[in-house]
Chains A and B, each alone.
Chain A
Amino acid sequence: MFDEMLLENGAVRPHYKGFDAWKTARASGFLEGKKAEADHLFRQVGITFSVYGDDVGTERLIPFDLVPRIIPASHWARLEKGLTQRVQALNLFLKDVYGRGDILRAGIVPANRVLANAQFRKEMLELNVPSGIYAMIAGIDLVCVGENEWYVLEDNLRVPSGVSYMLENRKMMMRLFPDLFGSHRIAPVAHYPDLLLETLRQGAPDGLEDPMVVVLTPGLYNSAYFEHAFLAQQMGVELVEGKDLMVDDDTVFMQTTHGKKRVDVIYRRIDDDFLDPEVFNKDSMLGVPGLMRAYRAGRVTLANAIGTGVADDKSIYPYVPDMIRFYLGQEPILHNVPTHICSESDSLKYVLDNLEKLVVKEVHGAGGYGMLIGPAASRAEIAEFRAKLIAHPDAYIAQPTLSLSTCPTMVESGIAPRHIDLRPFVLSSPTGVRMVPGGLTRVALKEGSLVVNSSQGGGTKDTWVAAD
Chain B
Amino acid sequence: MLSRTADSLYWMARYTERAENTARLIDIGLQQSLLPGQQREAEASLAGMLGLAELLPVYQDKFGDVNPESVIRFMVLDEENPSSIWSSLHNARENARAVRGQITTGLWETTNATWLEFLKLCDNGLPLIEPGKFFEWVQLRSHLSRGITIGTMIKDEAFRFIRLGTFLERTDSTARMIDLRFHQIETQDAHAGILDPDDPDYAVREFYHWEAVLRSLSAFEAYRKVYRDTITGTRVAELLILNPDMPRSIASCMNEVVANLQLVGNGNSSETRRRAGKLASTLRYLTMDEIVEEGLHGWLTQLLADIDDLGVRMRQDFLVI
Contact = CB atoms under 8 A, between A and B. Distances in A.
Given A240-B2, A259-B266, A44 B97 contact: no
B109 A44 contact: yes
Interface string B155-175: 001000100000000000000
A257 B98 contact: no
Contact of B3 (A225, A239, A255): A255
A257 B109 contact: no
A16 interface: no
A255 B100 CA distance: 19
Interface string A233-270: 10000111101100000000011111100000000000
B112 A244 contact: no
Interface string A204-224: 000000000000000010000
A61 to B, nearest CB: 12
Given A46-B97, A229-B100, A257 B3 contact: yes
A243 B112 contact: no
Interface residues of A, number: 23
Interface residues of B, number: 26
B1 interface: yes
A280 interface: no
B3 A44 contact: no
A232 B103 CA distance: 12
A33 to B, nearest CB: 21
Contacts, number: 60
Contacts of B98: 220
Most buried by A among B3, B102, B109, B264: B3
B6 interface: yes
Contact of B2 (A44, A45, A57, A255): A255
A254 B5 CA distance: 12
A319 interface: no
Contacts of A244: 2-4, 321
Most buried by A among B97, B105, B112, B319: B97
Q: How would you classify the secondary structure of chain B's contact residues: helix, strand, loop or mixed?
A: helix
B35 interface: no
A76 interface: no
B266 A232 contact: no
Contact of A241 (B1, B4, B101): B4
B1 A43 contact: no
A230 interface: yes
Contact of A44 (B102, B113, B264): B113
A258 B266 contact: yes
Nearest to B112: A46
A43 B101 contact: no
Contacts of B1: 256-258
A220 B109 CA distance: 17
B196 interface: no
A214 to B, nearest CB: 9
B318 interface: yes
Contact of A46 (B5, B108, B264): B108
Contacts of B318: 257
Contact of A238 (B2, B94, B267): B2
Q: Which 7 A-B pairs have the closest CB atoms?
A: A233-B101, A257-B318, A255-B3, A229-B101, A232-B101, A46-B112, A229-B100
Interface of A: 43-46, 57, 220, 225, 229-230, 232-233, 238-241, 243-244, 254-259
Interface of B: 1-6, 94, 97-98, 100-102, 105, 108-109, 112-113, 116, 157, 161, 264, 266-267, 318-319, 321
19 contacts: A45-B105, A45-B109, A46-B97, A46-B100, A220-B94, A225-B97, A229-B100, A233-B102, A238-B5, A241-B4, A244-B4, A254-B2, A255-B2, A255-B4, A256-B1, A257-B2, A257-B3, A257-B157, A257-B161
